[in-house]
């Protein structure tokens, strides 16, 4: 499956929430996401990894393969797993320790798009807009009036690099650190 989304930095979180509510977007919840990321061998200009993630209710294992920064440049395969901790242990045995990361996500549904506001340690909030087509992504951004700097579907590693940080240098990335 191809993931079609874009990240938008330099957003005003409270202003964006007000715009979402004004335009009838449905609030789908706030979650603390916990994840382990296991890097896979990759060539230059590509990003390949396995992610085990939970929001406290459900857990998933996801394979992502990303090339470039377009909206539709990421292959994503995802499946639910019964036990987050056991899934992490399996991948640690197979691929090494990995990186532990947390973020807080506010999720809104607007027409056919999912709009999230993501808070990551050491970063200002970042919006993501995901839909089944680039047209739907663009329409949601335009209709809601999301202001900020659109980056395309780039990795969180690149977002951190834009702020002078190496995401891989944080073996554990949590809000209390």
Q: What is the CA radius of gyration of the chain?
A: 16
Phi and psi dihedrals of 43, rounded to 5? -90, 170
Alpha carbon of residue 146 to chain centroid? 17
Q: Which residue has the tokens 């663009």?
A: 138
pLDDT (average), residues 60-84: 91
Can you give the length of the chain in residues?
177
Q: How would residue 53 be classed by pLDDT, with cut points 50, 70 and 90?
A: very high
Residue 90 has pLDDT above 80, yes or no: yes
0.95 cut: is pTM over it? no
CA 88 – CA 95 distance, rounded (Å): 10
pLDDT at 44: 76
pLDDT at res. 177: 58
Mean pLDDT for the chain overall: 94
CATH superfamily membership of 2-169 = Hypothetical Protein Pfu-838710-001 (2.40.320.10)
- Of all residues in the chain, the percent with pLDDT exceeding 70 is 99
- Average of pLDDT values for 42-52? 86
Q: State the Cα–Cα distance between residues 131 and 162, nearest whole angstrom.
A: 25
> What pLDDT, on a 0 to 100 scale, did the predictor assign at position 72?
85
How remote is the C-alpha of 3 from its chain's centroid? 11
* Per-residue confidence (pLDDT) for residue 46, from 0 to 100: 83
Question: What local confidence, expressed as pLDDT, does residue 70 receive?
Answer: 78
Q: How confident is the model at residue 126 (pLDDT cuts 50, 70, 90)?
A: very high
Domain residue limits, the chain? 2-169
Please report the pLDDT score of residue 67 as a whole number: 86
Choose among 50, 85, 54, 52: nearest CA to 64.
50
Provide mean pLDDT across the span 156-168.
94
């Amino acid at each position: 499956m191809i993931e079609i989304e874009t990240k938008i930095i330099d957003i005003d979180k409270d202003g964006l929430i007000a715009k979402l509510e004004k335009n009838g977007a449905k609030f789908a919840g706030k979650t603390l996401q916990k994840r382990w990321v296991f890097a896979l061998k990759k060539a230059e200009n590509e990003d390949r990894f396995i992610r085990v993630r939970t929001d406290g209710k459900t857990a998933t294992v996801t394979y992502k393969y990303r090339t470039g920064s377009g909206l539709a440049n990421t292959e994503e395969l995802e499946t639910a797993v019964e036990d987050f901790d056991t899934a992490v242990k399996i991948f640690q045995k197979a691929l090494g320790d990995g990186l532990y990361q947390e973020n807080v996500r506010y999720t809104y549904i607007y027409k056919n798009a999912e709009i999230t506001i993501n808070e990551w340690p050491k970063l200002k909030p970042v919006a993501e807009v995901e839909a089944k087509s680039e047209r739907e992504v663009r329409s949601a951004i335009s209709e809601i009036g999301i202001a900020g700097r659109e980056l395309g579907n780039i990795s969180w590693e690149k977002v951190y690099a834009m702020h002078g940080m190496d995401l891989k240098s944080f073996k554990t990335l949590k809000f209390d650190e």
